[in-house]
Amino acid sequence: MTRSPDPHFVRLATIEYFAAAAVFGWGLWLLVWGSDSAISSAAFAYLRASVEGWGFGPAWRVLGLLGMASGVLYAIAVKINGAGMMWTPIVRGTTCVGAVIFYANLVYSIMQVQPSSTGVYSYATISVFYACLFVANLDRFAVSLVLIWERLRGLDT
């Protein structure tokens, strides 16, 4: 079934595909524009410094690849859904938590330079959006943990 049984509502998976595409698109945006433009403004200085401290390369490349990988994994987990019940909710939850942390760091970075920027509001709203998706998937996440626990318990006996 591709549509919601109630025409007044949208399926959660549809919203999750949008979320996956959004984080993938952000990563692609960083990689396309590269070091000269992507996250080069003073507002992103805190974010650049913290990511470059990881030692994996320039911040725009690291964040771009992480965004794209996160979007792809999230979309795959949504597509597979119940067939991979042991791992897909964990990927969905981890991706949402990662997005919340990422966008919250963007907010913090921009606030250091210009707290009145619309970027503060925009990225904070996106962060809340991903937090809502995480909460919407908590039931799946809990079932996944129970299945993993039961499998581990079965191996111990």
Query: 0.85 cut: is pTM over it?
Result: no
- Angle at which helix 88-113 crosses helix 45-52, to 10 degrees, equals 130
pLDDT for residue 83: 67
5-44 per-position pLDDT tens digit: 666 677 888 899 999 999 999 999 989 887 767 788 888 8
For the CA atoms of 149, 153, 156, 157, what is the dihedral angle to 10 degrees? -170
List all residues 6 or more positions away from 44 whose beta carbon is below 8 Å from its beta carbon. 59, 106, 109, 110
- Between CA 90 and CA 144 the distance in angstroms is 7
pLDDT for residue 5: 62
pLDDT for residue 6: 66
* Cα torsion 8, 1, 13, 31: sign: negative
Low-confidence ranges of the chain (pLDDT < 50): 1, 156-157
pLDDT for residue 1: 47
pLDDT for residue 157: 47
